[in-house]
Amino acid sequence: MRHGLRSKRFDRDSGARQALFRGLVTDLLGYEKVTTTESRAKEIRRVAEKMVTLGKKGDLNARRRALAFIYDEKIVSKLFDDLAKRYAERAGGYTRVTKLVPRLGDAAPMAVVELLK
């Protein structure tokens, strides 16, 4: 039992895990596609969907919340200007996780997370 925790621990303390999520979500929103392990992909999908929802809200509070999470201000501008318009008619499901072949070094299951067009 994970005692109410909402995400996997990834063998990191909470600060390192939060930094991992922030970096991956920043890259996902910037490049619109990220290749990572399957479990990380499933976890960052949740966070990325929430960031797109903040972008769709478009108010000052939502922008400040996004700036507090996403590392790059240019990515936040892209989120609020471009991505929010792209997903204005969509009621969720902004990302897709596609499984790939296992990684060669340790056979970890890999996946691609991408923003839908």
**pTM score of the predicted model:** 0.89
pLDDT band at 2 (very low <50, low <70, confident <90, very high): very low
Contact between 22 and 70 under an 8 Å Cβ cutoff? The reply is yes
Q: Tokens for 37?
A: 């392990």
- pLDDT per position as a tens digit, 56-99: 999 999 999 999 999 999 999 999 999 999 999 999 999 999 99
> Does some domain include residue 100?
yes
The confidence score (pLDDT) of residue 6 equals: 59
Q: Tokens for 45?
A: 């999908």
- For the chain, the 3-state helix, strand and coil shares in percent, each to the nearest 5, are 55, 15, 35
Domain extent for 41: 15-115
> Does some domain include residue 68?
yes
CATH code for position 96: 3.90.1030.10
- pLDDT per position as a tens digit, 5-51: 556 788 889 999 999 999 999 999 999 999 999 999 999 999 999 99
> Does some domain include residue 103?
yes
